């Protein structure tokens, strides 16, 4: 049973990584794939900490940082849509 869960966590992370690498046209899809990878890491840490009977305080710190990362990404997305009208990376000039 535990081996199946580890395979699911690894598969979730690699699927999120695959989407991150292959679908780099829209910023929203990139942000969603990053959040999916963070969610898979959170589930992995939850099961691991429960298995070794560790305190769950570090998971709260991880959730705080992941929420801050998500809100920063959404604010960049909103500012990009307001200035350029869409979330395509081709219309965004880095200079």
pLDDT digits (tens, 9 = 90+) for 16-43: 899 888 877 788 888 888 899 999 999 8
The dotted CATH code for 2-84 is 1.10.287.3510
d(CA 79, CA 81): 5
Distance linking the first and last C-alpha atoms of the chain: 51
Supply the pLDDT for residue 1: 66
pLDDT in tens, 74-90: 898 888 888 777 777 66
DSSP state of 40: H
pLDDT in tens, 34-70: 899 999 999 888 888 888 888 888 889 988 999 998 8
Partner residues linked to 88 by β-bridges: 26
What token pair was written down for 56? 């769950």
Supply the pLDDT for residue 68: 92
pLDDT band at 94; cut points 50, 70, 90 = low
């Amino acid at each position: 049973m535990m081996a199946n869960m580890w395979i699911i966590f690894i598969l979730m992370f690699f699927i999120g990584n695959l989407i991150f690498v292959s679908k780099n046209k829209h910023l929203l899809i990139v942000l969603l794939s990053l959040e999916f990878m963070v969610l898979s890491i959170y589930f992995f840490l939850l099961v691991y900490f429960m298995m070794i009977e560790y305190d769950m305080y570090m998971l709260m710190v991880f959730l705080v940082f992941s929420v801050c990362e998500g809100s920063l990404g959404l604010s960049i997305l909103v500012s990009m849509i307001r200035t350029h009208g869409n979330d395509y990376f081709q219309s965004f000039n880095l200079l």
